[in-house]
A and B are shown apart, each in its own frame.
Chain A
Amino acid sequence: MMFHPPVVSLRWIPVWRRNFLVWRKLLGPALLGNFGEPLLYLLALGYGLGSFVGEVGGLPYGVFLAAGIVCGSAMNTATFEGLYSAYTRMAHQQTWGGMLATPLSVDDIVLGEMIWAGTKSLLSVAPILLVAALLGLVHSWAALWVLPVVLLAGVCFGALALVVTALAKSYDFFLYYFTLIVTPMFLFSGVFFPLDGMPIAVQWGAQVLPLTHAIAIVRPLMTGQPLPHLLPHLLVLLAYGAVAFYLAIGLLRRRLLA
């Protein structure tokens, strides 16, 4: 009974809205964290490393890196939200427990939380994109299409994080996910360097990672390079999101309703 199909309705909106209202109250530190760290990467690596590296994949290093940082930031923001923040709401503040005494269900909560994680990715990426543009690191107006892609990627990474949260007994558990999944993905999805130079096995391995596919769409949008076929990349993100959504709901039904 715990793994029957999700029941989807617009009841996810109040869940999303509750998180948005809290975010609005704590806007200062939230923006500083989401926005400051990627900005530092852009400046330090883009200019520092960029002056040694020169061009990468036919692009100035800062331009190459900006697209990677946008996607990496989307992943990290959504992941953090789906792990630490969601776990706090589930286990410490009993926010979800309160919701489950109302007409809201576990399915509504999971959907609201993953769309919220995607929204936070969007909220953190938008200012980075602006700063990157002001620094001359964005070469095309098509970069505005990055926003919906980042939303989708954020929802996908948020759903993956909720699966981990559903299994977690404490915050410490999240270190497994960071060390074994998130950090390798951050390093081997083409954020900092192109994958062409890597051994063929690594290149193939990178194709399994959803971040690789987000970058494959976002980088040409920002640099003005010709776009690849979008559908396969979008499908990979959608598939990860859908499977994680299904799993997170099943696992959380088992955890919260058993």
Chain B
Amino acid sequence: MAAPTVQALGLTKVYAGQTVVDGIELAVFPGECFGLLGPNGAGKTTTLRMLLGQTPPDAGRLTVLNHRIPEDARDMRARVGLVPQQDNLDPDFTVLENLRVYASYFGLSGPVLQRRIDELLGFVQLEAKAQAGIGTLSGGMKRRLTLARALINQPDLLILDEPTTGLDPQARQIIWQRLRSLLAQGKTLILTTHYMEEAERLCDRVAIMDHGRILACGSPHALIKQYIEPHVLEVYGPEVETWQDDVARQHARRTERVGETVFCYAEDEGALLDDLRQRPQLRFMHRPGNLEDVFLKLTGRELRE
């Protein structure tokens, strides 16, 4: 197997006595899309900041694109693109000026840059907006511009911190398409997201983090198979608790009640479905297990603030 693009061994970060990232092991390989999933405060963004050399680890070893981090972070960042969680486009510049000025931070200029900018504006479908001010762009356009900006230095590794948060479904679809196309070009992607279906669609492998630790790591398919029964029924309606105690527990390996809904995780769905068809007052949805089930099983259902 090729040398990893990112390798972290025992990576640790402590803020004011609190261990935010707790000795994680991470290997991301060239050409893969790797997802970092976790509730708010799990340590995802801190992990990304350490990868970028923007904050030094308190313990552990870290290499990114064969550069020791943080010692060699400047050279590494010349080969990495970042789509940050918070929009930081320059509001005083147009779309074109944003790309040109950002390129100057990498020492890029001239006709080669101009060609690259034209290509990138085409890639993110913003050709018509080249002269537009940032204030006139929609949220989706801003994200696409941020993506184009992150590609200005032709990075080998692209890091995306919640790339589709706050976007409408259309805008999200375009971002997904563009990311797939980057993967097809052989780029390595690391992304964080709260949307499990996004991770399931895009990522070759995901790591689920909580409280600064990696709880599980693998392909979405393998994790679902490992942690979740093949059939999931979500059942709700009057007296669903009684049904859970009397019927569901017999036929499902696990059941769980959340508010008014009973989740049944079963190897075989037949008996449950037969029973539910006799009870028109109960409504249900039958679906395969998914990454969100894995996520909730591992990190719990409590609300994180």
Count: A-B pairs, CB below 8 Å: 65
> Quick check: is B234 within 8 A (CB to CB) of the other chain?
no
| A101 and B52 form a contact (CB under 8 A) | yes
Least CB distance from B12 to A in Å reads 15
Q: Name the CB-closest residue of A to B52.
A: A101
Q: Name the CB-closest residue of B to A102.
A: B105
| A94 and B54 form a contact (CB under 8 A) | no
| B77 and A103 form a contact (CB under 8 A) | yes
Least CB distance from A61 to B in Å reads 41
Least CB distance from B292 to A in Å reads 30
Least CB distance from B30 to A in Å reads 21
Give the chain A neighbours of B185 by CB distance below 8 A.
Answer: none
A104 to B103, CA, bound (A): 12
**Interface residue tally for chain B (C-beta within 8 Å):** 27
**Interface residue tally for chain A (C-beta within 8 Å):** 23
A99 to B107, CA, bound (A): 12
A105 to B56, CA, bound (A): 14
Q: Name the CB-closest residue of B to A25.
A: B92
> Quick check: is B284 within 8 A (CB to CB) of the other chain?
no
A258 to B46, CA, bound (A): 11
> Quick check: is A169 within 8 A (CB to CB) of the other chain?
no
> Quick check: is A184 within 8 A (CB to CB) of the other chain?
no
A18 to B99, CA, bound (A): 12
| B88 and A102 form a contact (CB under 8 A) | no
| B92 and A94 form a contact (CB under 8 A) | no
> Quick check: is A200 within 8 A (CB to CB) of the other chain?
no
Which listed residue, A1, A14, A94, A95, touches B104 by the CB 8 Å rule? Answer: A14
Task: Give 1 or 0 for each of A1-43: 1 = CB within 8 Å of chain B CB.
Answer: 1000000000000100110011001100000000000000000
Least CB distance from B224 to A in Å reads 33
Q: Name the CB-closest residue of A to B109.
A: A14
Task: Give 1 or 0 for each of B44-83: 1 = CB within 8 Å of chain A CB.
Answer: 0000000010111000000000000000001101101010
Give the chain A neighbours of B136 by CB distance below 8 A.
Answer: none
Give the chain B neighbours of A242 by CB distance below 8 A.
Answer: none
Given A18-B101, A21-B101: A101 in contact with B54 (beta carbons within 8 A): yes
| B74 and A105 form a contact (CB under 8 A) | yes
| B92 and A101 form a contact (CB under 8 A) | no
> Quick check: is A231 within 8 A (CB to CB) of the other chain?
no
A215 to B40, CA, bound (A): 55
The residue in B15, B55, B101 that gathers the most chain A C-beta atoms within 10 A of its C-beta is B101
| B91 and A93 form a contact (CB under 8 A) | yes
Q: Name the CB-closest residue of B to A2.
A: B56
| A257 and B105 form a contact (CB under 8 A) | no
Which residues in window 204-246 of A have CB below 8 A to B?
A: none
Which listed residue, A26, A93, A103, A258, touches B74 by the CB 8 Å rule? Answer: A103
Q: Name the CB-closest residue of B to A98.
A: B88
Least CB distance from A90 to B in Å reads 11
Give the chain A neighbours of B52 by CB distance below 8 A.
Answer: 101
> Quick check: is B102 within 8 A (CB to CB) of the other chain?
yes
> Quick check: is A251 within 8 A (CB to CB) of the other chain?
no
Given A18-B104, A257-B54, A257-B55: A103 in contact with B75 (beta carbons within 8 A): yes
Q: Name the CB-closest residue of A to B78.
A: A103
A-B contact pairs, 13 of them (CB 8 A): A17-B101, A21-B97, A21-B101, A25-B93, A26-B92, A97-B88, A98-B88, A101-B52, A101-B54, A103-B78, A103-B106, A103-B107, A256-B54
Identify 12 new A-B residue pairs, CB closer than 8 A, beyond the known A93-B88, A257-B54.
A14-B101, A17-B104, A18-B90, A18-B101, A18-B104, A98-B105, A100-B54, A101-B77, A101-B80, A102-B102, A103-B75, A257-B55
